[in-house]
Structure formats: structure tokens, C-alpha cells
Amino acid sequence: MSSRERSTITFQWHSLSEMERVATICAVLWCAPAVVLLEGDLGVGKTALVQAVLKLWGVRGRVKSPTFDLVHIYELTSTTVYHADLYRIRQAEELETLDLPEPLSHQVLLVEWGEWVRDWYPERWDAHLTRDPDGTRVLALRAHGRVPVQRMAEWGETAHANHWD
Ligand SMILES: Nc1ncnc2c1ncn2[C@@H]1O[C@H](COP(=O)(O)OP(=O)(O)OP(=O)(O)O)[C@@H](O)[C@H]1O
Ligand SMILES: [Mg+2]
């Protein structure tokens, strides 16, 4: 399902139900504090992955895409999750009106089309999604900074010990 090399892991899935397994790993790696920038073409499945992760974190009901509101906030028991979509941002000045947080210990920031804010967050996950011609989704998940790299390494050891990869 995955392969590891340094600070990048790749996952593949062929259906939304297969994606759920990947989401369980993301839900562990992306626990607070975390910033995740989701990149990939229109309709590739960024929101679908976020929806699956939020469900695992206990969000009930339908998670809508924040394409029009730009940011949706979910207050969970011990975590606040910001789900943003910056597709409609056309110039950097528009970002000033956005209330995106510094990643505090109890916060998670999941940003679709997050290239705009990459420089704000040296500690982050870059989640790059692509779709093969046969519909297979490929996620390249890259850790940047101390905490994400450490989590990735810990996960890698656990996965290796459990023969998950
Ligand atoms: N692995 C998959 N298998 C089948 N359908 C999928 C898969 N991933 C996503 N989809 C479906 O593709 C459609 C678009 O997905 P989604 O909205 O998650 O894309 P997105 O990358 O967030 O798009 P946008 O760039 O517009 O925000 C949805 O109907 C979703 O259910
Ligand atoms: Mg989306």
C-alpha cells in the first residue's frame, strides 16, 4: 500500500472505500498540532480525503467543501480543525482577510490549494494528490520540519514492525 523514502510516503487507492484505510493513517499523522497543504488537480479527491479524516476525528454529518466560504471550522473535544480551500484566492492580499491560525498545540489546519500559504508554515505536511489514467489516486505525503519528520519516522517504524508497508 505504501513505500517509504526519507520524509516522503506514497499511498495508492482505487476507490473511496480503499481511501478509508489511507485516511486512518493520515488521521494519526495529522493529529494536532499540524498543518497539511493538500495539492492536486480539480476533483482529484482532496476534499474526499479530508472528509474521511474528519469523520475519523469524530465530526458528525456531512463535511462540505469550503470552496465558497474559504474556511470551515470544526470544534472537536480537544482540537479545533480549520478546513480551508484557497482555490478562489487570486492574489496574496486576499489572504490577509483569512483568519488562518498559527498552528497551536490543539489546532489542525487542512488547506486545499495551499500553495499560497506554504511559506507561512515551515512545519507542515505537503499532501500531493494525482490521478492516474485508470482512476488510481496516488498520494505523496511529505513531512517538513521537526515534528512532522519525527512523526513520519515513528510511523515508519510501527508500520515496518507490523508489516503494513
Ligand atoms: N478515490 C476515489 N475514487 C472515486 N471517486 C473519488 C475518489 N476520490 C474522490 N472521488 C470523487 O471525486 C469527486 C471530486 O472529489 P473531491 O471534491 O474530493 O475533489 P477535490 O480535489 O477536493 O476537488 P476541488 O479541487 O474542486 O476542491 C467527488 O465526487 C468524490 O467523491
Ligand atoms: Mg475540494
Interval between CA 47 and ligand 1 midpoint (Å): 6
| C-beta of 134 in contact with ligand 1 (< 6 A) | no
Domains of the chain: 2-91+98-160 (3.40.50.300)
Crossing angle (nearest 10°) for helices 46-56 and 16-29: 60
Tens digit of pLDDT for each residue in 45-66? 999 999 999 999 999 988 999 9
| C-beta of 111 in contact with ligand 1 (< 6 A) | no
Q: Whose CA is nearest to atom 13 of ligand 1?
A: 43
Q: Which of 137, 161, 132 is nearest to 26 (CA)?
A: 137
Q: Which of 127, 53, 43 is nearest to 87 (CA)?
A: 43
**pLDDT of amino acid 161:** 63
| C-beta of 42 in contact with ligand 1 (< 6 A) | yes
Give the pLDDT mean for 67-78: 92
